[in-house]
Amino acid sequence: MKEVTKMISVEEAQEKLLAVVNILEKEDVPILDSIGQVIAEDIYSEINVPPLDNSAMDGYAVQSVDVEGATPEKPVLLRVIDTVAAGSISGKAVVPGTAIRIMTGAPVPQGADAVVQFENTDEVQRQEEASEQPIKEIGIMQRAEAGLNIRRAGEDIRKGALIFNRGTIIRPAEVGVLASLGKTQVRVISRPVVAVLATGDELVEVGKPLPAGKIYNSNTYSIAAMVRHYGGIPKILGIALDTEESLVNSLRRGLDADMLITSGGVSMGDYDVVKDVLASEGEINFWTVRMKPGKPLAFGTINGRDKTGAPKKIPHLGLPGNPVSTMVTFEMFARLAINKMMGKKSLKKPEIEAILEGRIANRDGRRVFARGIVEKRGEQYFVRPTGPQGSGVLTSMSLANGLVIVPEDRAEARDGDIVRVMMLDWNESMV
């Protein structure tokens, strides 16, 4: 089955792609490996955090009624019956007329209902006088409300409480909270394995000498880097020559992946080889997307196998070979597919409005994604094109922090115009 070439909008292409992409299975992973993954089931706490009432200060645990009248001029004297450090529990109870010396984080002893910090006692003077000996008596110089400097058990997390809804994306803070619950693993949606295949007789693998007429294969690396950046696992299939045999052999090594991304071979000259091969290995459509860079795009499914060996259809995205087109079409299509497979709800990148400094032409009624450098000056965003916008100028992607969008129905965006920018990064120049 194949579709005749016709111009479709970016949105239409996105919809068609997402229609064949499914959310992946759940898996249990070590919490530290889960950054960027989506929590697959509601998580409840089995413990209180902190587990016991504990001291927020270094000081003395007292009974608040004992120190009601305490002032610097008239300290209340209490007998010191014990010292308790974080990690231990005092075997003694505070009774009227006594205090227990306590360190930050140590459980509050029985009988005590407040902690008076060292600064509000005569601790320093007593330490000097006692030299190496433990202090036997302490002067409390300020009254203390019940509860003063006590962190209550369960103040952060209550036993039984819902901590994370499924669908929560894991960031470092979530990793920390999971650790505070004592968990080593978390159930998340799996990361997609994305097979990456470059095509082209002109390509040479990095690290090798560059013969005349050849170029280094950069697309494999920009694609694999983006796969990883957005949370997937790249599976690099190397370079296929523009022959059926080479393409088929390379493809076969990727048939257990969750998605296949090829680059090159979709422009008019090359397309036939790719089309014939992919039609025999699955289903292929050729799209002309109304966007620039990145007009030609191949899309389909490859007949692959899952972990159990059962047949499955692997979504295949054939990106154009020009290095900028490859990256921009990845952002617009492959990234959405990865997000969906990972269970992410929001598939969009942030967009802002900025004042254009420069001019961007749009000659043939496509949606232009020009590489731009966004800066914030005062409360206003400004954006300027990175320089030459050829789809082979990969350094333009490296200079850019956003893609300036010139809609299909605008012949140009002029200096001073307000333009929309899809942000790729939110870096220092933005704040």
The residue ranges that bind ligand AMP (CB under 6 A) are 198, 200, 202-203, 215, 217-220, 263-267, 270, 320-323
Report the b/e string of 253-270 with b at 16+ CB within 10 A. ebbebbbbbbbbbbeeeb
Q: Please state the separation of Cα 279 from the chain's center in Å.
A: 36
Sequence-distant (≥ 6) Cβ neighbours of residue 229 within 8 angstroms: none
Helix or strand run (H / E) with residue 170: none
Sequence-distant (≥ 6) Cβ neighbours of residue 361 within 8 angstroms: 411, 412
Nearer to Mg ion, 37 or 325 (CB): 325
Nearer to Mg ion, 264 or 293 (CB): 264
Nearer to Mg ion, 318 or 402 (CB): 318
Q: Which of 82-90, 94-102, 107-115, 267-275 is the region at the interface with Mg ion (rule: CB under 5 A)?
A: 267-275
Nearer to ligand AMP, 90 or 322 (CB): 322
270 in contact with Mg ion (CB under 5 A): yes
DSSP 8-state secondary structure symbol assigned to residue 231? T
Residue 131 is encoded by which pair of tokens?
């030299």
What, of ligand AMP, Mg ion, none, does residue 263 touch, CB below 5 to 8 Å by kind? ligand AMP
What, of ligand AMP, Mg ion, none, does residue 231 touch, CB below 5 to 8 Å by kind? none
What's the min distance (Å) between Cβ of 283 and Mg ion? 22
Q: Give, as ranges, the residues between 327 and 386 that touch Mg ion (CB under 5 A).
A: none
Q: Which of 105-113, 176-184, 193-201, 275-283 is the region at the interface with Mg ion (rule: CB under 5 A)?
A: 193-201
What's the min distance (Å) between Cβ of 260 and Mg ion? 17
What, of Mg ion, ligand AMP, none, does residue 109 touch, CB below 5 to 8 Å by kind? none
What's the min distance (Å) between Cβ of 268 and ligand AMP? 8
304 in contact with Mg ion (CB under 5 A): no
Residue 110 is encoded by which pair of tokens?
């029985």
Which of 109, 264, 282, 294 forms a contact with Mg ion (CB under 5 A)?
A: 264
Nearer to Mg ion, 200 or 304 (CB): 200
Residue 315 is encoded by which pair of tokens?
């979504």
Helix axes 271-281, 244-252, angle to 10 degrees: 40
What's the min distance (Å) between Cβ of 319 and ligand AMP? 8
Nearer to ligand AMP, 203 or 255 (CB): 203
Nearer to Mg ion, 264 or 343 (CB): 264
Count, residues near Mg ion per rule CB under 5 A: 5
What, of ligand AMP, Mg ion, none, does residue 323 touch, CB below 5 to 8 Å by kind? ligand AMP
Residue nearest ligand AMP (C-beta atom): 321
Residue 183 is encoded by which pair of tokens?
């968990």
Q: Is 46 left (phi over 0), alpha (psi -120 to 50) or beta?
A: alpha
- 313 in Cβ contact with 282 (< 8 Å): yes
Q: How far apart are the first and last CA of the chain?
A: 50
Which of 107, 139, 192, 200 forms a contact with Mg ion (CB under 5 A)?
A: 200
Closest by alpha carbon to 179, among 87, 49, 85?
49
Nearer to ligand AMP, 117 or 391 (CB): 391
Cα distances (Å, whole numbers) of residue 249 to 182, 277, 294, 304, 321: 47, 10, 27, 14, 20
What, of ligand AMP, Mg ion, none, does residue 300 touch, CB below 5 to 8 Å by kind? none
Helix or strand run (H / E) with residue 300: strand 296-305
Collect contacts of 221-225 with beta carbons under 8 A, ≥24 apart. Answer: 222/323, 222/326, 222/327, 222/330, 222/394, 222/397, 223/196, 223/261, 223/263, 223/319, 223/326, 223/330, 223/334, 224/196
What's the min distance (Å) between Cβ of 392 and Mg ion? 13
What's the min distance (Å) between Cβ of 294 and ligand AMP? 10
Which residues in this chain contact Mg ion in the complex, by CB under 5 A?
A: 200, 264-265, 270, 321
